[in-house]
Amino acid sequence: MAKPKISESLYSQTTSNLIGDCMRTTLSFEGALELILQKAVDLGLARSKTDALRMGILSLNKEYGLVKDVEDELAARRLMEEENEMKRTKTKYLSEKAALSKYR
């Protein structure tokens, strides 16, 4: 089976969205892996090869329980990122009064 070629000159830029961080990566598959991805699309199991890869990643997590509670882990990751940003910019938490003042 041919090994996938993984380009490390990735778009290492991450963007935040409602689901979590988005990692942009360029992958190139040859041989059996490419054939499997194409077959998943041809049979209508996935809309695209990218979707087939996403399905495979989710199946990997389901099979091995790599991430037990995805929502909790994403929330914890986001909170840690915000705390690190606050430390970096020396920003302090708002008091309840200050946070609600613009809504009164």
* Dist. CA 38–CA 32, nearest whole Å: 10
Q: Which residues contact 48 (CB under 8 A, 6 or more apart)?
A: 41
CB of 66 within 8 A of CB of 60?
Answer: yes
Q: What is the pLDDT of residues 47-94, one digit of tens each?
A: 999 999 999 999 999 999 999 998 999 999 999 999 999 999 999 888
pLDDT band at 34 (very low <50, low <70, confident <90, very high): very high
Length of the chain: 104
Residue 13 confidence class, pLDDT cut points 50, 70, 90 = very low
| Dihedral angle over CA of 60, 66, 70, 72, nearest 10 | 180
For the cut 60, the answer to whether the pLDDT of residue 32 exceeds it is: yes
Could you tell me how far CA 99 lies from the centroid of its own chain? 30
The pTM assigned to this predicted structure is 0.59
pLDDT band at 21 (very low <50, low <70, confident <90, very high): low
Q: Please state, for a pLDDT cut of 90, what percent of the chain lies above it.
A: 63
Distances (CA, A) of 74 to 61, 69, 100: 15, 9, 26
